[in-house]
């Protein structure tokens, strides 16, 4: 077990309490985590004890002389498969490490896998409410199916492509979840950003006001807070319609949002034939 920061802190009465969120990561390559966790926001959050990442080397749970963690697949074929025994022993050992800090002794055990549930901001927000997560990183052709059946609670994919291992995927999950843990970044920074309410973010600008002949939109330097807010909202709607129209079906839209989107050519499902059809199917 390799801790990257102190997990328990003491309050004024000297009692242990949960200072933040704990990520237990099970991996064959713990060294891969040093870079991302030792820079910028995650580094500061770890130093402040708001999050804690504990790395567990699966190989340490292999019992043979060569510390073997993989074997050939039954039925033949390319590659190797992660053996069940060391991985299961590692998961069970981590689950038995129940800190006396009040969080559930059985945190969700999540496998990183390309055939898992697609990772989204909604899932990140859901996971950020947990006191502790156990993230399992696969390697080779993946994990023996029986370990998945017996010990994995949830399976997450970070996208429709195949990585060499689950470490980068686990880092993506840690990064996206950690920034939603209170105290890691400004609550205000999270409020309007992409996916927070089903829309993409508005364009961002900083000084200088003119760069290589390109001026920032005049409304942003007008000092009119109401107009700035309206411009930003409309830019979010425009950008979402242009780039991810699929998101609009689930976004929280006001009537004014809908009216603006219609001026941009959006086919509003609540008016016209689409609405009549959905009303008919509901009744």
Stretch that binds ligand SAM, among 31-39, 106-114, 241-249, 270-278 (CB under 6 A): 106-114
8 Å CB contact between 177 and 127: yes
CB 87 → ligand SAM: shortest distance, Å?
11
Mention every residue, 6+ apart, whose C-beta is less than 8 A from residue 30: 2, 55, 56, 57
The verdict on 70 binding ligand SAM (CB under 6 A) reads no
Complex with ligand SAM: residue 79 or 272, whichever CB lies closer: 79
Stretch that binds ligand SAM, among 18-26, 134-142, 230-238, 248-256 (CB under 6 A): 134-142
Complex with ligand SAM: residue 162 or 191, whichever CB lies closer: 162
Mention every residue, 6+ apart, whose C-beta is less than 8 A from residue 183: 20, 45, 48, 50
- DSSP class per residue in 21-70: EEEEEEES-GGGGHHHHTSHHHHHHHHTTSEEEEEEEGGGG--STT---E
The verdict on 112 binding ligand SAM (CB under 6 A) reads yes
State which of positions 230-269 bind ligand SAM (CB under 6 A): none
C-alpha pair distances (Å), 32 with each of 21, 36, 38, 118, 137 = 21, 8, 11, 23, 11
8 Å CB contact between 110 and 138: no
Mention every residue, 6+ apart, whose C-beta is less than 8 A from residue 162: 114
Q: How many CB atoms sit inside 10 A of residue 239's CB?
A: 16
8 Å CB contact between 152 and 144: no
SS3 107: coil
**# chain residues binding ligand SAM, by CB under 6 A:** 20
Stretch that binds ligand SAM, among 33-41, 99-107, 156-164, 185-193 (CB under 6 A): 156-164
The verdict on 113 binding ligand SAM (CB under 6 A) reads yes
The verdict on 120 binding ligand SAM (CB under 6 A) reads no
Q: How far apart are CA 251 and CA 148, in angstroms?
A: 34
Mention every residue, 6+ apart, whose C-beta is less than 8 A from residue 38: none
Applying CB under 6 A, among 157, 176, 184, 248 the residue interacting with ligand SAM is 157
The verdict on 123 binding ligand SAM (CB under 6 A) reads no
CB 91 → ligand SAM: shortest distance, Å?
14
The verdict on 159 binding ligand SAM (CB under 6 A) reads yes
CB 90 → ligand SAM: shortest distance, Å?
14
CB 139 → ligand SAM: shortest distance, Å?
6
The verdict on 139 binding ligand SAM (CB under 6 A) reads yes
State which of positions 163-202 bind ligand SAM (CB under 6 A): 163-166, 169
User: Which residues in this chain contact ligand SAM in the complex, by CB under 6 A?
Assistant: 112-115, 137-139, 141-143, 157-159, 161-166, 169
């Amino acid at each position: 077990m390799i801790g990257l920061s102190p997990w328990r802190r003491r309050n004024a009465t000297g009692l242990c309490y949960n200072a933040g969120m704990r990520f237990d990561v099970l991996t064959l390559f713990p060294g891969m985590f040093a870079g991302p966790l030792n820079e910028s926001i995650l580094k500061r959050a770890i130093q402040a004890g708001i999050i804690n990442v504990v790395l567990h080397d699966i190989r340490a749970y292999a019992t043979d002389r060569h510390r073997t963690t993989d074997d050939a697949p039954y039925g033949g074929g390319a590659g190797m498969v992660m053996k069940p025994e060391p991985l299961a022993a590692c998961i069970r050992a981590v689950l038995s490490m129940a800190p006396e800090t009040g969080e559930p002794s059985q945190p969700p055990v999540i496998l990183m896998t390309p055939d898992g549930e697609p990772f989204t901001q909604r899932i990140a927000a859901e996971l950020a409410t947990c006191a502790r997560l156990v993230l399992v990183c696969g390697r080779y052709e993946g994990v023996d199916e029986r370990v998945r059946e017996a010990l994995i609670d949830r399976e997450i994919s970070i996208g429709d492509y195949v990585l060499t291992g689950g470490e980068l995927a686990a880092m993506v999950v840690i990064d996206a979840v950690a920034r939603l843990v209170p105290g890691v970044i400004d609550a205000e920074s999270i409020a309007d950003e992409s996916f927070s309410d089903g829309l993409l973010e508005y364009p961002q600008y900083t000084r200088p006001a003119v760069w290589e002949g390109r001026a920032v939109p005049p409304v942003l330097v007008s000092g009119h807070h109401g107009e700035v807010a309206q411009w930003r909202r409309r830019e979010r709607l425009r950008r979402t319609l242009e780039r991810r129209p699929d998101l609009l079906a689930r976004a929280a839209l006001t009537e004014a949002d809908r009216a603006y989107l219609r001026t941009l050519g959006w086919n509003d499902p609540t008016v016209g034939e689409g609405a009549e059809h959905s009303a008919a199917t509901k009744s």
